[in-house]
Structure 1
């Protein structure tokens, strides 16, 4: 029997219609764990980027948006691992609430509100594909849309009030979206692949698909 007639499946274009979308206890635990880990990274990123942010913005106003992906990844990562409706929103809210409790420059209400916006927009991408298509392209699109949410909130609440130059808004938009695509999208997909390879995701559809 020839073994060359069956092409090797491409994991980058996976459609998984058969898995249940109902949440299990393990899904809640893992999504929450992703949110907790993300909150620590979010908080640390806020501390470490405070000075570089001003320096980067001094070079080109709005360029510092390239750092925003450091606060966008919880939603896409939770979605591609747990693969349940609402995973992105849930993980982002957990991360935001804990980050606010740790203390940051934005305050509790603002932190949670922007996380909700980012989580909902990240979620919309996976929902648009009916939680059936999981690949790097969809994940990058989720990161990009999360970036749009981040930019939109900042633009309405901060940029207009700051009366910045006309170029600031478009530059900040472009850099934030690119940051979302790369950090919250591509890098999270690579992290997911690395985790799946270890067998840590064997209890999830994401782990089963990876083995397939």
Structure 2
């Protein structure tokens, strides 16, 4: 039993948690930039699936919004310091704005709201739990503030039934798409040796040594 616990435990960032290292800052900047490029690309590609889902039931478009929640999840899982999830999502939003998006400055507002939600999830977990469940929780929490913001910016002609449905659909999609995808990306980066200076890399080394 003790071996199983040791293999599955989350490793926290080095203390003090608020003391960011240079490598933490650079990694968040790199991850945010990479996700920003991906976000921009998804902004070009999402319209077709979004339109198809809208013809079935308009709030289902929340499913296609979930990929924009991934950066905060990965930032939090990798660096594991207060502010990492928020900063990664904000950098991603800023970078995605550089080539130009149809949403303009509101892209940054969305990035802040999404990042705050993911950050709050890691805060509630005491910045000490980082397994798949934590990733799913962060993905879910990245959605509500964004959904409410979109009610009053993009979905102003919807009734409350559609708005509430959109909130639940985006939250569920955030959990299962952004959360699971964020966890898989973090695991893949660790397996590739890109996170040796971070807790995910240490967790992988410990799991292999048992």
Normalised TM-score (structure 1): 0.89
- Kept in 1: contact 2:13–2:81 (CA 8 A): no
Q: Does 1:210 align with 2:207?
A: no
The equivalent of 1:152 in structure 2 is 148
The equivalent of 1:194 in structure 2 is 188
CA drift of 1:13 comes to 4.3
CA drift of 1:122 comes to 0.5
Any stretches of 5+ residues in structure 1 without a counterpart? Answer: none
- Matches of residues 72-83 of structure 1 in structure 2 within 5 Å? 72-83=69-80
CA drift of 1:15 comes to 5.2
Matches of 2:8 and 2:203, distance apart in 1: 11
- Matches of residues 60-99 of structure 1 in structure 2 within 5 Å? 60-99=57-96
Matches of 1:97 and 1:49, distance apart in 2: 19
1:181 to 156, 159, 175: 175
Matches of 1:52 and 1:193, distance apart in 2: 28
Off by >6 Å, runs of 4+ in structure 1: none
- Kept in 2: contact 1:80–1:134 (CA 8 A): yes
Q: Does 1:31 align with 2:31?
A: no
- Kept in 2: contact 1:31–1:78 (CA 8 A): yes
> Aligned pair in 2 of structure 1 residues 10, 58: CA closer, same or farther (>3 Å)?
farther
> Aligned pair in 2 of structure 1 residues 153, 23: CA closer, same or farther (>3 Å)?
same
CA drift of 1:129 comes to 2.1
Aligned residues: CA RMSD: 1.9
- Is the partner of 2:3 in helix, strand or coil? coil
CA drift of 1:19 comes to 4.3
Corresponding residue pairs, total: 205
Matches of 2:61 and 2:102, distance apart in 1: 16
Normalised TM-score (structure 2): 0.90
Work out which of the two has the higher radius of gyration on C-alpha atoms and give 1 or 2. 1
Any stretches of 5+ residues in structure 2 without a counterpart? Answer: none
Matches of 1:100 and 1:18, distance apart in 2: 33
- Kept in 2: contact 1:11–1:135 (CA 8 A): no
